[in-house]
């Protein structure tokens, strides 16, 4: 994460916005050594939906095998 003083951020705001947009960087803006603001990219997609899609893609092709079924595993867990 890049850190800049408020004056530098003001004078280079256009470039900072380009870095955030194109590179996805997060930039901390400080005043007197304390972070007062963060420039972060806007999320373009829902992170929950993205995580669900990722899980669905990763589980494709994974099976329990021929001898196991979900029903038998549930019954085994109840014993």
Rg of the Cα atoms in the chain? 24
Please check whether residue 32 is in contact with residue 7, taking contact to mean a CB–CB distance below 8 angstroms: no
| Residue 65, pLDDT score | 76
Query: For the segment 6-64, what is each residue's pLDDT rounded down to a tens digit?
Result: 999 999 999 999 999 999 889 999 999 999 999 999 877 788 888 899 999 998 888 77
Query: For the segment 41-53, what is each residue's pLDDT rounded down to a tens digit?
Result: 987 778 888 889 9
Q: Which domain holds residue 18?
A: 1-79
Per-residue confidence band for 67, with pLDDT thresholds at 50, 70 and 90: confident
Q: How far apart are CA 65 and CA 45, in angstroms?
A: 35
CATH of the domain at 23: 3.40.1620.10
Domain count, the chain: 1
Q: E strands along 1-79, which residues?
A: 2-5, 27-31, 34-39
């Amino acid at each position: 994460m890049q850190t800049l003083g408020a004056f530098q951020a003001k004078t280079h705001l256009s470039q900072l916005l380009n870095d955030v947009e194109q590179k996805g960087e997060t930039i901390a803006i400080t005043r007197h050594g304390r972070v007062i603001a963060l420039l972060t990219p806007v999320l373009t997609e829902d992170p929950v939906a993205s995580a669900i899609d990722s899980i669905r893609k990763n589980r494709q092709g994974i099976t329990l095998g021929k001898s196991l079924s979900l029903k038998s595993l549930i019954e085994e867990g109840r014993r």
